[in-house]
Amino acid sequence: MKFAVIVFPGSNCDIDMYHAIKDELGEQVEYVWHDTESLDEFDGILLPGGFSYGDYLRTGAIARFSKVMQAVVKAAEAGKPILGVCNGFQILLEAGLLPGAMRRNESLSFICKPVDLKVVNNQTMFSAVYTQGETISIPVAHGEGNYYCDEETLAKLKENNQIVFTYQDNPNGSLEDIAGIINETGNVLGMMPHPERAVDELLGGADGLKLFQSIVRSWREANVVKA
């Protein structure tokens, strides 16, 4: 499987994401600059964390208009797995690939620490290797991670089982403790915690590796023909 790590001006978790795929997962991966117009050669698209375009106007608001986002939308419509982490999640929200919006943390301060998440839906291409209800430890590092949506959108998220991860001890005030959601078709995931920073016990834990393993397993089941 071949992954693209999208790099915007201001991305700073792209190297972490690249390492997670190449060195821990053992799959192909390339950095892809924000002005790239085609992602056809890639099987999976990763939008890393950071401060794209300095977070001017609003987190993800400018990155959403980068040339590469047209290709990301095309890849999403084609059913390819799209993962947006932290700033990547914010960009997916701004691009309309996921519902809702991101607000400042309730504390109005930057949060950087490991948090416990609950896997509330393991029937997705991003969570299939986890067990339902499993508690995992993944780091967060954000100032605007307070997820919000209106009542109608929240009802749809629940009805369609689109909430994948929730916080055990909500660090930012996120609605319904939401830490990660998918789109209705199930191939776009946005999450504030950083699974790419939890892929090796030397880093303090490897709970995030299962997320990437889930993507690869789901992709292979759908695309690799068994003899």
Catalytic residues: 86, 194, 196
Rounded to the nearest angstrom, the gap between the alpha carbon of residue 222 and the centroid of all alpha carbons in its chain is: 21
Q: Are 209 and 199 in contact (CB under 8 A)?
A: yes
Spatial distance between the Cα atoms of 190 and 165, rounded to a whole number of angstroms: 10
Q: Are strands 111-119 and 135-142 parallel, antiparallel or unpaired?
A: antiparallel
Neighbours of 161 (CB within 10 A): 13
Spatial distance between the Cα atoms of 163 and 158, rounded to a whole number of angstroms: 7
For 48, residues 6+ apart whose C-beta sits below 8 A from its C-beta are 5, 6, 7, 11, 12, 13, 14, 16, 17, 85, 86, 87, 88, 196
